[in-house]
Chains A and B, each alone.
Chain A
Amino acid sequence: MTAPAAGTVDGGGASGKRAGGGNGALDAASRPASPVRALAVLAALARLEARRYVSNPLFVVGLALAGLTMYTSLRHPISDVNGPHSAPAMFIGVVGIAIGFRLSQALDGTSETLEVTPTPAPARTAAMSLAALVPFTFGLGSLLAIVATERLRGPAYGMFGPADRFTILAGQVAVSALGGPLLGIATARWARALWVLPVVVLTIGVWITLVTGLAYTYPGSFPVVALRLFAPYAYFFDSPGGEGQVTTWRGSPGYFLGWQLALCGLALLAGLPRGATGPARRRLLGALAVLLPVTVALFILATIGGLGHALVTYPGGSTRPW
């Protein structure tokens, strides 16, 4: 070990290098206003968190699997949209739940060291949440690849118009890549036990499988529509038998996308209050209180909007109610 050089003891080595150019920590007057400093810290922290996310082996493996699945499926015309298009949700979104959880949980043991820094815990959570833009970017890339390859044409998309087709894919491919990591981060902020992670993943997986299975059997039933859309991920059509026949399900793709985005917001706002105190905590809880009814409203609109009943489209182009 070497003693610090004379003159560096009192922050001399730090001169002009901290956010706002403060001399060590002592020259408070020379720093810019607090919000500017807080934003600079958040940006720097988000860059570090993004690097942690990208270098996570799970992310690399998930990305490779998503890319491989999409590459093999998009080389041929698609008869069943649901299968290949769920690859990014599975390999970027669901894997993102685990990555977000582990990134957040990895710092738990260090909490006493980190808590006595000037940056509060919600800023760390916010930075981790900003890092979720990394998988979201790859989700957006996947979406653009699908749009560029398929041009959203063909009978596989049922009775939906181009805008609804894009909306459905945006929710399934891009938003799920954002929502997964946000859910993982929020969960880890409140539940530290490792077993919580598989429970969350399994609950979501089993629920989506169950309600989608019901929708295959009862595509026209209103309660089934409500159950199907009460999930972070949903299908809007199916191709029974794979013979060109497509059933377009009930529900509004646009409002469902809104519901998905609102769920992302809820996940973000659920994680941020951890460690927040005073007015900041009150503001966060206030925002949560506002977003909650908006989310419920979007869910109701997604359920009652869209087609009044399921429609079956046959290979010849004819359509009849299910």
Chain B
Amino acid sequence: MKHLAWLALTLALFAATLLLTEWSDTRDLSHQREWDIARADGAEGELDGLRFSVREARAVVVASKPDRALVLVRLAVQGSPKAASQWIDCRASLRGKGGETWLPLYTASSSGAIRLIAPDGKDNGTCLVSGVSETGPTLSDHLYRLPSADLDDLTLRVSGYGTRPSALAFPIRPTVRTIKPGQ
């Protein structure tokens, strides 16, 4: 009987060790993944005190390479600085119907491409929650490169380190413009 008690104690400690390790790993993982999705009805949605809206969704296809497109998404965010600080950062990714994830481009030429596609010729920069206020919207521009065939079925997901695994999801249907060389 005494041996059984020791065995049970060993098993209980082993299970407790597993749980503690798993809890910490699950917390780390949940800050990276988005599995609690709040779907916005239209172009506006709110998550953890910040209100996001999709101001622009434009795609450009170059006629010489029709299989791929550049997509510009302009986001506006408004909310209290306290809520913004709890977001910590902001990630906006596009999802395809097959689960593909396209991340925004941050290259030397992406700013120029954003200014070319944007209706006002401006690049409002990346999504920084540190500048969010209640008095007016803060704009950000996100450029993606993806197959033209996926333009019809896209979802924009917006989340922060502090909100994940929760994320906002917007259906995106960009207007498509085809550019011929020399235009």
A and B co-occur in one complex: no
Interface residues of B (CB under 8 A from A): none
